[in-house]
Amino acid sequence: MTSAVLLRRLLPHRRARTLPSPAAPGELVAKAVGLRVALGGRAVLDGVGIGVRAGEVLALVGPNGAGKSTLLAALAADLAPSAGEVRIGGRPAGDWSAGELALRRAVLPQAAALTFPFPVAEVVRMGRAPWAGTEREDEDEAAVAAAMAATEVEAFAGRPFSALSGGERARVALARVLAQRTGLLLLDEPTAALDLRHQELVLRVCRERAAAGDAVVVVLHDLGLAAAHADRVAVLHGGRIEAAGPPSEVFDAHVLSRVYRQPVEVFPHPRTGVPLVVPVRPGPHRRPASPPLPERDNSPSLTGP
Amino acid sequence: MTALPEAPTTPEPPATDPSTTKAPAAEPPATEPPAPRRGRSAVLTLSLLAALLLLSLLSAGIGAYEIPLGDVLASVQHRIGLGGHALDRTAESVLWNIRLPRVVLAVLVGASLGCAGALMQGVFGNPLAEPGVIGISAGAAVGAVGAIALGLTFLGNWTVTVCAFVAGLATVLLVYAMSRSGGRTEVVTLILTGIAVNAFAGALIGLFLFFADNAQITQITFWQLGSLAQATWPKVLAVLPCALLGLAVAPFHSRRLDLLALGERPARHLGVDVERLRVALILVVALLTAAAVAVAGIITFVGLLVPHLLRMANGPGHRFLVPGSALGGAVVLAAGDLAARTVAAPAELPLGVLTALLGSPFFFWLLRRTRRRQGGWA
């Protein structure tokens, strides 16, 4: 019967999905091996290998165009690598269906957009969609409430998303990702639009998730934040991982100065000992009354290869 | 600070371990009561249903040959075997051979157009998408006109519908492929694509008219203005499968359409098979548009107006919007057809002209508002 076939094609269908089992602390949740990704004929990632472990915050840092977001997208199984492999939960990323992946990893995109003015609470609740029809559906309300509390968005729960400021939208998007309650969190610049207080808040949330046993991968531009909150840091440069390890080992003035093509100083915080990374700046001169100008960071040399 | 604990999903009885049972209990209770919105959906649905029923009964009674409301009810009751009584021969014939097929057709066409509009806006992620505006109706019309002009009858009664479906499907795919880039649809590209498609479809229809004989030309011209005047039961049957299939399938995709509002990648991250969803919905839109166009010609703006009004009234959630737009479209077209028949009685306004007269200013306002919101088109 052709109409039956047509009907089956038109109706959404849900394959039986296996629920993920919680990962043990330190267990490899996702990994990339020999990863090569070419976009528009150019290798954006070349020979990248990295492992993401449960209970750990891994920060990806590096200059613009180094391949941070591409690596994150590859770990999210958004991109098909031209060589190498991404494994999530012990299986090649391509072997999972979209529905199964959604139970295992949540992704915060760089820019949060919404085509229709859904209220904030409904946007956060969208994060629960993958669990519909599973036994963990019962957690929905609790997960939404907890995620909204953690990101401090309850105050505007009823407002339409389109009426929010950039920073508020970013937090709502993060709340949606937290509500998904997956064992792997991939966050692309979650702090970009946020003020000081909320930058700290977001990374504290990342830490809490890691402490609860999740694996968190976060793309950061602020090296100070990375040093203070990440267990491990991977410095990307030109599509390769230049250095990876605990921030205290990786944040070396020579390496960072070379990678960013900007002389930097690294020194321990006087109280906590956490490395601080600061561009080398000339001391205040000429007009002592005004604050010193930072080095211009949009010099033409940045557009080089 | 909330600890965001992972609730254990281990198979062993969880209640024995105090450390794991404590954590979920400490979580704050849900603060958002979803009740008001649900209540509003129910009220809206009920009032739309009531309006549709009332309009249908009025439409069945009002016209050159007046049939009192009580008689309409009695005759309907009689036919479905629930008491009532038959009317005299003329009244019975007017009611069952002229009025009721027309009412049913208006409801089917309106529901198809309203639903197709809501689906398209969701799939394109663009509130200005509508089968008429972006040329799908015109594309389907090419198929239908071609079938009439060339005198095709290879599928009997369903020939025009099938031709409209095939041409409509080809047009949706074309518009979709042409107006998307980088995973989103720009308003300008969409509208310009619509202009191009409408122009091309107009040319093809003109070509078919050129080859048609006089009788066919009259038929096509009248049909093209958008009208339900030639409603008969066979016509109802010709579109019923398309319309019902489309209307039955559409609501199952509502939840996924909500997620699609986040963008394609985020929707995929939430487990939506975006490619599959898009293909399925484009097929459904083509089915619904073809059903409407094949019998009623090009009736514009219903698919634009109805979802917008409902979104304003009840928010953008598709679980209400998709079936609600079908219902709302049926109400609008039932009212429109009643007006088209009675405003200039004994003459009859073409329905498509009426909806365009009322719909175009609304579209105008919508364009201005969208432009103001995003601060220009570029």
> What are the structure tokens assigned to A53, written together?
């472990």
CATH 3.40.50.300 assigned to domain A24-104+182-195+205-281? The reply is: yes
Query: What are the tokens at A302?
Result: 């940045």
CA distance B347 to B369: 37
Give the pLDDT of residue A288. Answer: 54
CA distance A273 to A267: 8
Task: Give a yes or no: residue B3 inside a domain.
Answer: no
Q: pLDDT digit string (tens) for B14-72?
A: 444 444 433 444 444 444 444 456 688 899 999 999 999 999 999 988 888 888 888 88
d(CA B197, CA B200): 5
For residue A28, the SS3 value is strand
Is B21 within the bounds of a domain? no
Confidence of residue B373 (pLDDT cuts 50, 70, 90): low
pTM: 0.82
Flag if B271 and A157 touch (Cβ within 8 Å): no
How far is it, in rounded angstroms, from Cα B272 to Cα B257?
A: 9
Q: How far, in Å, CA of B91 to CA of B97, rounded?
A: 10
Beta strands (DSSP E) in chain A are 28-39, 42-53, 56-61, 83-88, 91-92, 105-108, 184-188, 215-219, 232-237, 240-245, 264-268, 275-279
Tell me which residue of A275, A151, A178, A150 sits closest to A224, measured CA to CA: A275
Q: Tokens for B270, please give them.
A: 């939430």
What is the distance between the alpha carbons of residues A112 and A172, in angstroms, rounded to a whole number?
9
Q: How many residues are recorded in chain B?
A: 378
Is the bond preceding residue B346 a cis peptide, omega within 30 degrees? yes
- How is residue A300 written in tokens? 């033409």
Q: Which of A201, A179, A199, A197 is nearest to A189 (CA)?
A: A199
- Measured between alpha carbons, how far is B372 from B366 in angstroms, rounded to an integer? 10
| Distance (Å) of CA B377 to CA B56, B367, B368, B371 | 42, 10, 11, 6
The verdict on a CB contact (< 8 Å) between B261 and A106 is no
What is the per-residue pLDDT for B22?
Answer: 38
Distance CA B173, CA B181 (A): 14
Both structure tokens of B194: 């619509």
Q: What angle do CA A247, A249, A252 make, to 5 degrees?
A: 90
Of B32, B261, B317, the CB nearest to A157: B32
Cα angle A191, A194, A200; round to 5: 65
Chain B contacts in chain A segment 140-179 (CB below 8 A): 141-142, 144-150, 154, 157-158, 178
- Name the residue with tokens 């996702």: A30
DSSP structure class, residue A23: P
Distances (CA, A) of A12 to A5, A45, B243, B276: 13, 35, 18, 8
Nearest CA in chain B to A105: B269
Tokens of A101: 């992946």
Chain B partners of A8 at a C-beta cutoff of 8 Å? none
With CA atoms as reference, report the closest residue to A186 among A294, A8, A57.
Answer: A57
Peptide bond into B18 cis (omega under 30): no
> Residues A48, A241: contact at Cβ < 8 Å?
yes
Tokens of B196: 């191009």
Please give the backbone phi and psi of residue A89, each rounded to the nearest 5 degrees, phi first.
55, 35
Which of A116, A141, A156, A197 to probe the B interface (max B CBs under 10 A)?
A: A116
Q: Which residue has the higher pLDDT, B370 or B350?
A: B350
φ, ψ dihedrals at A235, nearest 5°: -95, 115
Measuring CA to CA, how many Å separate B35 from each of B41, B108, B304? 10, 31, 28
DSSP A20: P
Decide which of B51 and B313 is more confident: B51
Partner B contacted by A214 (CB < 8 A): yes
**Tokens standing for residue B361:** 């200013």
Provide the residue ranges of all domains of chain A, joining segments of one domain with +: 24-104+182-195+205-281, 112-176
Residue labelled with tokens 């100083």: A265
Cβ separation B127–A208 shorter than 8 A: no
pLDDT of residue B357: 87
Mind telling me how many Å the CA of A187 is from chain B's nearest CA? Answer: 12
Residue A109 forms contact with B (CB below 8 Å): yes
- CATH code for position B273: 1.10.3470.10
Domain of residue B267, residue span: 100-374
3-state secondary structure string across A244-295 = EECHHHHCCHHHHHHHHCCCEEEEECCCCCCEEEEECCCCCCCCCCCCCCCC
Cα-flanking dihedrals φ and ψ of residue A296, to 5°? -65, 130
Section A173-187 average pLDDT: 95
Note whether A47 and A35 are within 8 A (CB).
yes
Q: Is A51 helix (H, G, I), strand (E, B) or coil?
A: strand
Asked whether residue B64 is assigned to any structural domain, the reply reads no
Spatial distance between the Cα atoms of B79 and B273, rounded to a whole number of angstroms: 47
Residue B47 lies in a domain: no
Residue B274 located in a structural domain: yes
Does residue A216 or residue B26 have the better pLDDT? A216
Residue B12 scores a pLDDT above 70? no
Torsion of CA A190, A102, B182, B369, to 10 degrees: -70
- Tell me if B259 and A101 make a contact (CB, 8 A cut-off): no
Are A115 and B126 within 8 A, CB to CB?
Answer: yes
- For residue B221, tell me if it sits in a domain: yes
Q: Give the closest residue to A215 by CA, choosing from A42, A52, A89.
A: A52
- Residues A32-84 pLDDT 10s: 999 999 988 888 999 999 999 999 999 999 999 899 999 999 999 988 889 99
Between the two ends of chain A, the Cα-to-Cα distance in Å is 59
With cut-offs at 50, 70 and 90, classify the pLDDT of residue A293.
low
Which of B1, B4, B155, B257 to mutate to probe the A interface, most A CBs <10 Å?
Answer: B4
CA distance B156 to chain A (A): 18
Name the residue facing B4 among A10, A132, A146 (closest C-beta).
Answer: A146
Q: Specify if B39 maps to a domain.
A: no
Half-sphere exposure for B214 (CA within 13 Å, toward CB): 0
Tell me the range of A3-7, A145-149, B236-240 where mean pLDDT is highest: A145-149
Q: Which of A69, A12, A61 is CA-nearest to residue A39?
A: A69
Nearest to B125 among A115, A117, A204 (CB): A115
Q: Where are the beta strands (DSSP E) in B163-307?
A: 180-181, 184-185
Mean pLDDT, residues A183-203: 93
CA distance B38 to B217: 50
* A173: β partners: none
* Mean pLDDT lowest among A133-137, A283-287, B150-154: A283-287
Distance CA B341, CA B349 (A): 7
> From the candidates A108, A115, A152, which should be mutated to test the interface with B, based on the most B CB atoms within 10 A?
A115
pLDDT reading at B336 higher than 50 = yes
User: Residue B265 is nearest to which of A78, A119, A209, comparing CB atoms?
Assistant: A78
Tell me what pLDDT residue B104 has. 94
Q: How far apart are CA B322 and CA B254, in angstroms?
A: 7
* CB atoms near residue A273 (< 10 Å): 9
What is the DSSP code (8-state) at residue B10? Answer: -
Give the whole-angstrom CA distance, residue B104 versus residue B291.
13
Number of domains chain B contains? 1
Closest CB to A181: pick one of B6, B245, B262: B6
d(CA B60, CA B72): 7
Tokens linked to B97: 């051979």
Q: Which of A218-232, A288-302, B105-119, B124-138 has the lowest average pLDDT?
A: A288-302
CA distances to A233, A235, A247, A269, B296 from A263, rounded to whole Å, are 20, 16, 18, 19, 72
